[in-house]
Amino acid sequence: MKDVSVGICGLGTVGGGTFNVLTRNAKIIAGRAGCNIRIGRVASRTPREDIDMGGIPFSTDIFDVINDPDIDVVVELIGGYEAARELVLAAIKNGKHVVTANKALIAVHGNEIFEAAEKANVIVAYEAGVAGGIPVIKSVREGMAANRIDWIAGIINGTGNYILTEMRAGREFAEVLKEAQDLGYAEADPTFDVEGIDAAHKLTILASAGFGVPLQFERAYTEGISQITPYDIAHAELLGYRIKHLGIARRREDGIELRVHPTLVPRSHLIAQVDGVLNAVLVDGDAVGQTMYYGPGAGDEATASAVIADIVDVARTVSSGSSQRVPYLGFDPSALEDLGVLPMEDIQSAYYLRITAMDHPGVLAKVASILSEHGINIESIMQKESELKDGRIPVIILTHTVQERQVNRAIEELEALTDIDGQVVRIRAENFN
């Protein structure tokens, strides 16, 4: 069977990992693919002295790869939005199959890219873009094909999960962030990770592949973890919950919920036990129920594992003479539904509320009455006399499931009370029922 020739664009962390694994495991990979997968060309702005290229053609211009007639599959590992978009569209135009690890590219420009690939009859694969080495796109698009997928919830940013895990020991966000930066887990500018933008890219892709709707990143809601305190983490634990930075997508009749925010999850649920830089994605289907996919969400060879799985998929499909076997978003383009993302006020959730009450008589009654007026039922309430300080005392409330709009209105009224000091802390909670 004919060799498949791969051109690697970008030789950073993932590019280097891909080069090394393709080289080291060449025999195993050929055994699985049914043909040799050969690195035909590598391009990167800066060469890497630490990798032995063994005579493989090297360019500093990534466009050399897509113009090389020897290359069958272009592997885009340069990252970013615009340059990657240009590269991928040009590769498609040249009739190359594309494998990418670029979640931002797919979340933002995926609809355009898939349409171009469909016209050119080439494959675009993006497993490595979501949850690194975990084959969750494959599981959702293929393994769950029988199911109406109802919701997906994931810990899909390792940096944020590392920070929240370390904060359980009572440490402050800023201190752990600095440590994560020193360890290389967090970027110098941590915004993408800690504010949930990176997770929202991945969630956008997961939701579209699971529900069969176009990519709608611009309508995803993101809330970061920088406001989370060790105090709230400890009190959530007392209530039997753990705070995780979750991406949650839910399919409803009237649209989809698409949101990344700190979330209380039951400590007894398996996803609460996923600690450190690891990732996990829970998928709920109407036939199978809940399944979970767990593993490293980043790292050179872990991400390369997903990149190469896609290359093998392309090789298996191409060498059997057919084109894109699995539709880009799991559903045939003609079967995609025109379902929009819902505004956050329309979502339903349980809520953890932390209210700083003045030590006045009757304040609890006022709080309870405001919640009740907005149809909010209380599951648990905690107030400890020992925490009274400067005439203020924290009141912790866990509500039953309610519409976010109701909670927002109740919070407005609570904050207007002279018996309440400052803002109400509000963190969403999920029971996965």
Assess 30 for contact with a second copy (CB under 8 A): yes
According to CB under 8 A, which one of 270, 358, 368, 381 is a site residue for a second copy? 270
Contact region for a second copy (CB under 8 A) — 21-29, 111-119, 192-200, 219-227? 21-29
Of residues 189 through 218, those in contact with a second copy by CB under 8 A are: 212
Assess 350 for contact with a second copy (CB under 8 A): no
E runs forming strands in 148-254: 149-155, 221-222, 241-252
Residue 25's nearest CA partner among 320, 318, 313, 312 is 312
Pairing outcome for strands 289-296 and 97-100:
unpaired
Is 170 part of any known ligand binding site? Answer: no
Is 2 part of any known ligand binding site? Answer: no
Is 13 part of any known ligand binding site? Answer: yes
Q: How far apart are CA 19 and CA 179, in angstroms?
A: 30
Q: How far apart are CA 315 and CA 1, in angstroms?
A: 11
The 119-158 site mask, x for binding a second copy (CB under 8 A), equals --------x-----xxx--xx-xxxxxxxx----------
Is 417 part of any known ligand binding site? Answer: no
According to CB under 8 A, which one of 162, 294, 328, 351 is a site residue for a second copy? 294
Beta bridge partners of 279: 295
Instruction: Please identify, using beta-carbon distances, which residue of 247 and 296 lies nearer to a second copy.
Output: 296
Q: Is residue 242 within 8 Å of residue 234, measured between CB atoms?
A: no
Look at residue 340 and give its three-state secondary structure: coil
Is 129 part of any known ligand binding site? Answer: no
Of residues 315 through 334, those in contact with a second copy by CB under 8 A are: 316-317, 320-323, 325-327, 330-332
| 3-state DSSP percent of the chain in helix, strand and coil, to 5 | 40, 25, 35
Residue 40's nearest CA partner among 87, 88, 7, 73 is 7
Reported residue count of the chain is: 433
DSSP 420: B
Instruction: Please identify, using beta-carbon distances, which residue of 19 and 351 lies nearer to a second copy.
Output: 19
Q: How far apart are CA 122 and CA 215, in angstroms?
A: 20
Of residues 352 through 411, those in contact with a second copy by CB under 8 A are: none
Look at residue 14 and give its three-state secondary structure: helix
Look at residue 426 and give its three-state secondary structure: strand
- Say whether 202 is catalytic: yes
Q: How far apart are CA 285 and CA 416, in angstroms?
A: 43
Of 96, 138, 202, 244, the active-site residue reads 202
Shortest distance in whole angstroms from residue 275 CB to a second copy: 9
Instruction: Please identify, using beta-carbon distances, which residue of 196 and 296 lies nearer to a second copy.
Output: 296
Instruction: Please identify, using beta-carbon distances, which residue of 14 and 88 lies nearer to a second copy.
Output: 14
> Any residues with CB less than 8 A from the CB of 88 and at least 6 apart, and which?
74, 76, 98, 100, 105, 113, 124
Is 187 part of any known ligand binding site? Answer: yes
According to CB under 8 A, which one of 4, 8, 29, 429 is a site residue for a second copy? 29
The residues of the shown chain that bind a second copy, judged by CB under 8 A, are: 17, 21-22, 24-25, 28-34, 127, 133-135, 138-139, 141-148, 212, 270, 273-274, 285-296, 299, 301-302, 304-309, 312-313, 316-317, 320-323, 325-327, 330-332, 335-336
Question: Would you please indicate which residues are annotated as catalytic (active-site) residues?
Answer: 202
Q: Which residues are annotated as a binding site for L-homoserine?
A: 187
